[in-house]
C-alpha cells in the first residue's frame, strides 16, 4: 500500500489535463518530498551507486520470469 503523500503526488502528476498538473515548484513543496533539501541535493551522494560492467549488465534488476515485455504487449496500444 502506498502512503498518502505518494498517492497525492502520483495523482497530481498523472492529472489528465496538463494544465492541472503541478509545476516543479509545487511538486518540490509536496509532502512526499518534505525531507529533501533541494538547496544541497546536487552535493549529496545517492544512498547506493550500482556497479555496471557493461551496457548489457542487468544484475541490479530483479529477475522475474513472469514479467512481460511492454513493447510486445498488445494492450499497450489500446
Tens-digit pLDDT string for the chain (78 aa)? 579 999 999 999 999 999 999 999 999 999 999 999 999 999 998 888 878 878 777 777 777 655 655 555 555 554
End-to-end CA distance of the chain: 27
pLDDT for position 67? 60
pLDDT for position 78? 47
**Is the Cβ–Cβ distance between 26 and 33 less than 8 Å?**
no
Does some domain include residue 68? no
Does some domain include residue 70? no
pLDDT for position 69? 58
Does some domain include residue 8? yes
**Is the Cβ–Cβ distance between 8 and 31 less than 8 Å?**
yes
Structural domains counted in the chain = 1
Spatial distance between the Cα atoms of 60 and 19, rounded to a whole number of angstroms: 37
pTM tops 0.85, yes or no: no
Domain that holds residue 16: 1-42
Does some domain include residue 33? yes
Of 1, 21, 23, 3, whose CA–CA distance to 12 is shortest? 21
Amino acid at each position: 500500500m502506498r502512503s498518502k503523500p505518494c498517492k497525492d503526488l502520483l495523482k497530481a502528476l498523472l492529472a489528465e489535463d496538463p494544465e492541472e498538473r503541478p509545476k516543479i515548484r509545487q511538486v518540490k513543496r509536496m509532502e512526499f518530498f518534505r525531507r529533501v533539501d533541494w538547496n544541497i541535493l546536487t552535493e549529496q551522494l545517492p544512498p547506493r551507486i550500482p556497479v555496471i560492467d557493461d551496457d548489457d549488465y542487468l544484475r541490479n534488476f530483479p529477475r522475474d520470469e513472469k514479467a512481460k515485455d511492454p513493447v510486445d504487449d498488445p494492450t499497450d496500444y489500446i
